[in-house]
Structure 1
Amino acid sequence: MLNFYISILTTFFTLFLISLLGMFLNKKNILVMLMSLEMLFLAATSFFVFSSVYLDDIVGQIFAILVLTVAASESAIGLAILVIYYRIRSTISVELMDLMKG
């Protein structure tokens, strides 16, 4: 049982690291950055749910619901900003995002 737990932990940790690399190594496309951020949230949430089932505690599942709620609202706001930015600039390149500073 412990080997199964360790293999699941390494899987979630690997997903977490891949999403971090996707966010920090990609400097051109904001859609890939948003998808990497969502994958980061899902990896953390999956870890919380699995740990709460393994430890027979409900706190991890409640926290996972809260994280998913924040992730959904962040995604909706991010996509709305992306649509507005695309209408103004006709591109979704991250390199010109510093022009939005006010």
Structure 2
Amino acid sequence: MPINYYIILSIALFCIGIVGVLTRRNAIIIFMCIELMLNAVNLLLVAFSKMHHLAGKAVLETAGTDGQLFVFFIMVVAAAEVSVGLAIIVMMYRNIHSVDVNFLNRLKH
């Protein structure tokens, strides 16, 4: 399959994530959109790694796994981010009984 399909899919997923982050007020949906953007980047990393592997002259058994290794580390960091973010959301809900992020702006004053 050509790399163009992966690029178009990744751009579409990333744009959906950006629109979700900018337009939604629910903190849980914002975190889901951030994860969607991270997965779009992961898709591009794996696609470009595979493309670079196929374009190379020398064929090695471990070639083409660099992008997948980066994706693995990104997923580990994203899992840690989600666990901390969800803990913050749970504490916010316990204290103010809402997950609306616009309410957090009122806490500044």
Partner amino acid for 2:77? Answer: V
Could you list the runs of 4 or more consecutive aligned residues of structure 1 that deviate by over 4 angstroms after TM superposition? none
Alignment correspondent of 1:24: 22
Q: Deviations over 1:8-64 (max 9, x none)?
A: 2111111111101111122x2111100000101111111111221222232211111
Give, in angstroms, the shift of residue 6 of structure 1: 0.7
Give, in angstroms, the shift of residue 100 of structure 1: 5.1
- The reply on whether 1:46 has 2:53 as its aligned counterpart is no
Size of the aligned set, in residue pairs, is 99
Alignment correspondent of 2:12: 14
> Which runs of no fewer than 5 residues in structure 2 stay unpaired?
54-63
Partner amino acid for 1:87? Answer: R
- Which residue, 31, 34, 45 being the options, matches 1:37? 34
Please state whether the residue corresponding to 1:41 is helix, strand or coil. helix
Please state whether the residue corresponding to 1:75 is helix, strand or coil. helix
CA RMSD of aligned residues (A): 1.7
**Structure-2 separation of matches of 1:100 and 1:69:** 32
**Structure-2 separation of matches of 1:91 and 1:51:** 41
Alignment correspondent of 1:80: 87
TM-score normalised according to structure 1 size: 0.87
> Which runs of no fewer than 5 residues in structure 1 stay unpaired?
none
TM-score normalised according to structure 2 size: 0.82
- The reply on whether 1:67 has 2:65 as its aligned counterpart is no
Larger Rg: 2
More helix by share: 1
Please state whether the residue corresponding to 1:47 is helix, strand or coil. helix
